[in-house]
Chain A
Amino acid sequence: MITIIEVRNLIKRFGHKQVLRKLNFSVQQGEFVALLGSNGAGKTTLLRTLSSLSKPNYGEIQIAGYYLPGQSAQVRKKLGVVSHLPLLYGDLNAEENLKFYGRLYGLSDFQNHIEEILQLVGLLKRKKDLVRTFSRGMQQRLAIGRAIIHDPEVLLLDEPHTGLDQDAANMLDTLLQEIASRGRTVVMTSHDFPRVANLATRFDVLYKGIIHSSKFAKDLPQHGLLAYYQSIVDEIDAGGENQDAA
């Protein structure tokens, strides 16, 4: 197995507030990791730090063989990022948005490739429509198209299900499964436990700035994800004083 993400002793502060507190996190190539945690746990901060949008205060981060923050451009080349905002331009149509990102990623002769991506995310027929006329679900699918345009080895997704209706969320899941089946590594945060339970191969609980527990899907009893998560959180809360002192 190849370790594709390795995070050691990561500390991230905003002002005096320590959001990530010596966090350790390791992902093997091809894993689909779900990051579970309550609001404010630090999930977004971790993903933003991994994607070099946020600078760590302390700690070591290695992604696909490159270090952050020193080799951030090389790291970014290996990453596809989907955040809760679509990162798309409303005044450009779907095709133009992908063309723009294709150029940002240094691709050339990408016309066919863009058509393939549009096909994959089910927006080929709408390629000439301005993105601001798209529904949230369509924007989210195009956002995924945007994130995989350079065929990244690692896909980071921050709550991609938020704001999607059932159909759109189902389409998203199918898309994610398709990407994972191509051997890509995925790290995703989500509050949608039933969906995550069907997608991920590993579940990590991020709570109060540390990853406390990690469990493989095969070791989890059926419908056991919520119970597992709750038991971890309860355990931490019970020992809460030690945690806060640390």
Chain B
Amino acid sequence: MQPKTSFFKAMFAVVWKDLIAELRGKELISAMLVFALLVIFIFNFALELDPKTRSALTAGILWVTIIFAGNLGLNRSMAVEKDRGCLDGLLLAPVDRTAIYFGKSIANWIFMLIVAMIVLPIYSILYNTNIISPALLLVILLGSEGYVAIGTLLASMAVQARTRDILLPILLFPVILPVLIAAVKASAGILSGFPFSDLQTWFNLLIVYDIIFTSVAFMVFDSVVEE
């Protein structure tokens, strides 16, 4: 068989496996979702915001929610593989190991997007403002891609350590800062109704970081997982 077809076959096998396992247990998404909703509620009550200040903070709150919920998801998605030894099973596949990396990343990305798609309408209803727009969805798509690209790589490193729950955010959050800033700025601009041309820089930054993070992971994943 062609190496290329087996690469994509293995990659989609991993995505398929993560999706049906999640459909069974719904553990990952429900954990992420509960966490995300708690963050939104806590912000609401802790800050007692009037509508005007709240709208200024919406972008920040939204991304804090996505980042923390995403961290939870990344940790669990790798822990599932590691704890029952399944990571070895994945690494034994007779393909280039980046296929495994991309499979896990795509699954993580899908989970993050599902959570975001549930959080956005809830946020809108809760605060009685429609924040859903194609431009914001695009920011979420781009921002979360960069996040899972580097997050999946770092999670596969952190999972080797006993202190992985704390190790992942310590490794991940500093690295992800440029993506977070660009995503928050772009989202805030969109929510304030700025024209797209004013936000072009932030979109460009998101795209550049997505490419950088994905390429770095592509290059080093194999050496990260081999002991």
Q: Is A96's beta carbon under 8 Å from chain B?
A: yes
Q: Distance in Å from the Cβ of B143 to the closest Cβ of chain A?
A: 29
B20 contacts A96, C-beta separation under 8 Å: yes
Q: Is B21's beta carbon under 8 Å from chain A?
A: yes
Q: Is A161's beta carbon under 8 Å from chain B?
A: no
**Identity of the chain A residue whose Cβ is nearest the Cβ of B90 in the assembled complex:** A104
Alpha-carbon distance between A83 and B85 when the two chains are bound, in angstroms: 9
Alpha-carbon distance between A146 and B14 when the two chains are bound, in angstroms: 15
| Chain B residues near A92 (CB-CB < 8 A) | 17, 20-21, 24
B227 contacts A55, C-beta separation under 8 Å: yes
B20 contacts A105, C-beta separation under 8 Å: no
A100 contacts B96, C-beta separation under 8 Å: no
Q: Is A101's beta carbon under 8 Å from chain B?
A: yes
B88 contacts A103, C-beta separation under 8 Å: no
Q: Is B48's beta carbon under 8 Å from chain A?
A: no
Chain A CB within 10 A, most for which of B21, B88, B94, B95: B94
Q: Is A28's beta carbon under 8 Å from chain B?
A: no
Q: Distance in Å from the Cβ of A55 to the closest Cβ of chain B?
A: 5
Cβ contacts B99-116/A at 8 Å (1 or 0 each): 000000000000000000
Q: Which of A81, A88, A100, A101 contacts B84 (CB 8 A)?
A: A88
B92 contacts A100, C-beta separation under 8 Å: no
| Chain A residues near B86 (CB-CB < 8 A) | 87-89
Q: Is A220's beta carbon under 8 Å from chain B?
A: no
Q: Is A106's beta carbon under 8 Å from chain B?
A: yes
Q: Distance in Å from the Cβ of A147 to the closest Cβ of chain B?
A: 9
Interface residues of A in 119-151 (CB under 8 A from B): 130, 146, 150
B17 contacts A89, C-beta separation under 8 Å: yes
Q: Is A54's beta carbon under 8 Å from chain B?
A: yes
Q: How many residues of B contact A (CB 8 A)?
A: 30
**Identity of the chain B residue whose Cβ is nearest the Cβ of A73 in the assembled complex:** B94
Alpha-carbon distance between A104 and B13 when the two chains are bound, in angstroms: 6
Q: Is A91's beta carbon under 8 Å from chain B?
A: yes
Q: Is the interface of B mostly helix, strand, loop or mixed?
A: helix
B84 contacts A89, C-beta separation under 8 Å: yes
Q: Is B6's beta carbon under 8 Å from chain A?
A: yes
Alpha-carbon distance between A212 and B119 when the two chains are bound, in angstroms: 63
Alpha-carbon distance between A7 and B25 when the two chains are bound, in angstroms: 44
Q: Distance in Å from the Cβ of A36 to the closest Cβ of chain B?
A: 23
| Chain A residues near B89 (CB-CB < 8 A) | 87-88, 101, 104, 146
Alpha-carbon distance between A182 and B51 when the two chains are bound, in angstroms: 74
Q: Which of B84, B95, B226 contacts A106 (CB 8 A)?
A: B95
Alpha-carbon distance between A76 and B3 when the two chains are bound, in angstroms: 13
11 additional A-B residue pairs with CB within 8 Å, beyond A103-B10, A106-B9: A48-B227, A53-B92, A73-B3, A87-B85, A87-B88, A88-B89, A92-B21, A92-B24, A104-B89, A105-B94, A150-B94
Binding site for A on B (CB under 8 A): 1, 3, 5-6, 9-10, 12-14, 16-17, 20-21, 24-25, 80, 84-86, 88-96, 226-227
Top 6 A-B residue pairs of the complex, sorted by shortest distance between their CB atoms: A85-B85, A103-B13, A87-B89, A77-B94, A106-B6, A104-B93
Binding site for B on A (CB under 8 A): 48, 51-55, 73-74, 76-77, 79, 81, 83, 85-92, 96, 100-101, 103-106, 130, 146, 150
29 sample A-B contacts, Cβ–Cβ < 8 Å, listed by A number: A48-B227, A51-B92, A53-B92, A53-B226, A54-B226, A73-B3, A73-B96, A76-B92, A76-B93, A81-B92, A85-B85, A85-B88, A86-B84, A87-B84, A87-B86, A87-B89, A88-B86, A88-B89, A89-B21, A89-B84, A89-B86, A91-B24, A92-B17, A92-B24, A100-B13, A103-B12, A105-B94, A106-B9, A130-B24
